[in-house]
Amino acid sequence: MKTYVLGYLVLGAVAVVAVVVAARLGRRSGRRALQQRLVALSNRLGVEPPDEGGVEPILSHLEKVTGEAAEAVTEASSDAIRLRRALDTLTQGVIVCDENGEVAFRNARAVSLMHNRHGDALAAQAVTELLESAWQDGTAERTLDLYGPPRQTLTVRTQLIDDGRRPLGVIAVIEDVSERRRLEEIRRDFVANVSHELKTPIGALGLLAETLTVEPDPEVAQRLASRIHTEAFRVSRIIDDLLDLSRIESEETPPREPIYVNLVMAEAVERVRSAAEQRRITIQLDEPEPPVHVLGDRRQLVSAMHALLENAVTFSYEDSVVRVAGTQDDGEIRLAVADSGVGIPTRDLERIFERFYRVDHGRSRSSGGTGLGLSIVRHVASNHQGRVEVDSREGEGSTFTLVLPNPPEYAS
């Protein structure tokens, strides 16, 4: 439309020159030809043609026509800018080709996706092929896996654009579904892991209960009942940890209030003290002096510290020491739990925060562990804009440090 309107402006300018020349030369035939051109131009613009008269009416009409054309150009330019800005805000990449197959527009997201340093060649080739397919079939779609780094999954959809009579071009929409794909995989793994974790103790409960109903020996029946209690407690622990993890994940922005770190550490130690005493493990608590505050959710922080302490007790040797220390340094509060137990192999360090992942399956299961503790710690750290640091050597022990930001107004 903009091209047509500019054409009208040029035609109007030519007409003005013709009017002046015709007026100077006094040629009636020139005026008649000019009148005919003005009528044709008026019909194109949808306005009333001028009456026959002198030069003045013609000039007035030209002024009106060029004014309307100038307004149309301004409006078309504003619409085009508005449309471009709107498309640039989309999270999907948009590419539009004209009727000749040439790229007429691509928004900012399309530029970033198509010019990714690692995947631009593959993505560009796929988009080109799909645009060609849309010309033939009307629509086309493909999913691309770009292995990066970083790894990306893109879906590309193309659609033919027409006005009902002839094709006007093709549009391609590119969407990055990497995060959606990752969440789907996490959900599938989570369901599979939950099913597996619950199947084992529930199966054991059924078998033990069935055996107990026909067992005449009181001592054997007592042992079976004790096993049933153990398996039932294990199921209860898994469910409790699942509920705790679900609650923490849903509270991405939990209520924040100033909390004494010393109280969080002391409460977590008390919750694990009974298990530690059963294995003759000493818990050494080094609270920060003077007491310091942190801005956060007390229940979540206690859950995280308890999970770290429980792991330390579980994977420590009997008659050993687990150390819990709190320090304040460079605007951060560091809560460290250190043991001298079995440690973690280097190959497992990247996966220990996954749900249900266990380094030592036999030891963790026998101790009643659920494999969810470190997932809880990671989410609590994330909810508090903090992080978890790990320093571990197989056979020498591990140190887990929960690092939390300490705003100046709460620093001691």
Q: Which of 104, 109, 105 is nearest to 88 (CA)?
A: 109
Assess whether 170 and 100 both reside in one domain: yes
Assess whether 280 and 373 both reside in one domain: yes
Question: For residue 159, what is the enclosing H or E element?
Answer: strand 152-162
Task: Please give the pLDDT value at position 284.
Answer: 92
Tokens of 350: 């990247």
Residue 104 lies in a domain: yes
Assess whether 48 and 171 both reside in one domain: no
Partnered with residue 322 across adjacent β-strands are: 283
Tokens of 338: 């250190």
Q: Which of 7, 31, 29, 11 is nearest to 19 (CA)?
A: 31
Assess whether 171 and 206 both reside in one domain: no
CA Rg, the chain, in Å?
37
pLDDT tens across 246-259, in order?
Answer: 777 666 666 778 88
Quote the number of domains for the chain. Answer: 4
Assess whether 7 and 138 both reside in one domain: no
DSSP 8-state code for residue 101: S
Q: Is 389 helix (H, G, I), strand (E, B) or coil?
A: strand
Assess whether 65 and 211 both reside in one domain: no
Can you give 70-94 as a three-state secondary structure string? HHHHHHHHHHHHHHHHHHHCCCCEE
Q: Which of 46-50, 94-98, 216-220, 355-359 has the lowest mean pLDDT?
A: 46-50
pLDDT tens across 161-203, in order?
Answer: 887 778 888 888 888 888 888 777 777 776 776 776 677 778 8
| Average pLDDT of the chain to the nearest whole number | 76
Assess whether 411 and 270 both reside in one domain: yes
Q: Is the pLDDT of residue 65 over 90?
A: no
The predicted model scores a pTM of 0.53
Assess whether 218 and 356 both reside in one domain: no
Task: Please give the pLDDT value at position 97.
Answer: 85
Distances (CA, A) of 292 to 113, 254, 307: 46, 20, 22
Q: Which of 140, 169, 144 is nearest to 154 (CA)?
A: 144
Provide the domain limits for residue 246: 186-250
Assess whether 244 and 325 both reside in one domain: no
pLDDT tens across 257-282, in order?
Answer: 888 889 999 999 998 888 888 889 99
